[in-house]
Structure 1
Amino acid sequence: MRIRFRALLCGGAGLAVALVLAAAPTEAAEAAPPHFADGFGLTVVSQPAWVDANHRTFTFAVSSDQVPNPTLLPGQTAGQHLIMVTLPAGYDGAAATRYPVLYNLHGNPDRPNTVANLQITEQSTQGVPLITVAPNGVRSWYANWANPGALGPQNWETFHLDQVIPLVDANLKTVATRAGRAIVGHSMGGFGAFHYAEDRPDLFSYVGSLSGGLDLLSQEQRAAVVETELDPASGTPTVAVDSIFGPPTWPLDGAWNAQSPAQHVASLRGMGVAMYVGNGGDLTVDPIQAVIENRARETALVTATNLKAAGIPYDFADYGDGSAWAPGCTGKHAQQPCLQADMDHFIPLIMQRLQHP
Structure 2
Amino acid sequence: MNARALTTAMLAGTLASGIVAVPEAQAAIAPPHLADAFGLTVIAQPEWAEGSDRTFTFTVATEEVPAFTVMPGQVSGEHVVSVTLPNGYDPAQSYPVHYTLHGGGDYPNAPWLRQAIEESTAHEPLITVAPNGGGRGWYTDWVYPGSLGLQNWETFHLEQLIPFIDANLATVDAKEGRAISGHSMGGYGAMSYAERRPDLFTYVGSFSGGLDLLNLEMRAAVVGSTQLAAYGYPTVAPDAIFGSPIWPLDWNWNQRSPAQHVESLRGMGIALYSGNGGDLAVDPVQAIVEHRARQTTAVASANLTAAGIEHDFLDYGDGSDWAAGCTGKHAQFACLQANFDHFIPLVMSRLQHP
Same fold judged by TM-score > 0.5? Answer: yes
Q: Report whether the alignment pairs 1:118 with 2:152.
A: no
Query: 2:353 & 2:17 partners in 1: Cα distance?
Result: 33
TM-align CA RMSD: 1.5
Work out whether residues 102 and 184 of structure 1, in 8 Å CA contact, stay in contact via their aligned partners in 2: yes
Query: 1:325 & 1:6 partners in 2: Cα distance?
Result: 27
Q: Report whether the alignment pairs 1:229 with 2:226.
A: yes
Farther-moved stretch of structure 1 (274-283 vs 70-79)? 70-79
Q: Secondary structure at the match of 1:352?
A: helix
Q: Report whether the alignment pairs 1:6 with 2:8.
A: yes
Work out whether residues 43 and 62 of structure 1, in 8 Å CA contact, stay in contact via their aligned partners in 2: yes
Alignment counterpart, residue 65 of structure 1, candidates 59, 63, 86: 63
Distance 1:163 1:345, change over 3 A: same
Q: Report whether the alignment pairs 1:278 with 2:280.
A: no
Cα offsets for 1:24-46 (capped at 9, x unmatched): 45xx6x61000110011110000
Instruction: Please report how far the alpha carbon of residue 10 of structure 1 lies from its aligned counterpart in structure 2 after TM superposition.
Output: 1.6
2:87 corresponding residue in structure 1? 89
Q: Report whether the alignment pairs 1:331 with 2:336.
A: no
Runs of 4+ in 1 over 6 A off after TM superposition: none
Tell me, which stretches of 5 or more residues in structure 2 are unaligned?
A: none
Q: Secondary structure at the match of 1:62?
A: strand
Query: 1:252 & 1:54 partners in 2: Cα distance?
Result: 48
User: Which letter maps to 2:32?
Assistant: P
Matched residue pairs, number? 350
Query: 1:196 & 1:275 partners in 2: Cα distance?
Result: 15
Query: 2:77 & 2:85 partners in 1: Cα distance?
Result: 26
Query: 2:9 & 2:186 partners in 1: Cα distance?
Result: 11
Instruction: Please report how far the alpha carbon of residue 259 of structure 1 lies from its aligned counterpart in structure 2 after TM superposition.
Output: 0.3
User: Which letter maps to 1:36?
Assistant: L
Query: 1:129 & 1:14 partners in 2: Cα distance?
Result: 30
Q: Report whether the alignment pairs 1:100 with 2:100.
A: no
Alignment counterpart, residue 178 of structure 1, candidates 175, 182, 192: 175
1:354 corresponding residue in structure 2? 351
- Work out the percentage of aligned pairs sharing the same amino acid: 62
Work out whether residues 8 and 212 of structure 1, in 8 Å CA contact, stay in contact via their aligned partners in 2: no
Instruction: Please report how far the alpha carbon of residue 8 of structure 1 lies from its aligned counterpart in structure 2 after TM superposition.
Output: 2.3
User: Which letter maps to 2:263?
Assistant: A
Q: Report whether the alignment pairs 1:133 with 2:129.
A: yes
Query: 2:284 & 2:271 partners in 1: Cα distance?
Result: 26
Q: Secondary structure at the match of 1:233?
A: helix
Query: 1:200 & 1:156 partners in 2: Cα distance?
Result: 14
Query: 2:286 & 2:34 partners in 1: Cα distance?
Result: 38
1:49 corresponding residue in structure 2? 47
Query: 1:167 & 1:334 partners in 2: Cα distance?
Result: 30
Query: 2:149 & 2:297 partners in 1: Cα distance?
Result: 33
Alignment counterpart, residue 342 of structure 1, candidates 329, 335, 339: 339
Instruction: Please report how far the alpha carbon of residue 65 of structure 1 lies from its aligned counterpart in structure 2 after TM superposition.
Output: 0.7
1:205 corresponding residue in structure 2? 202
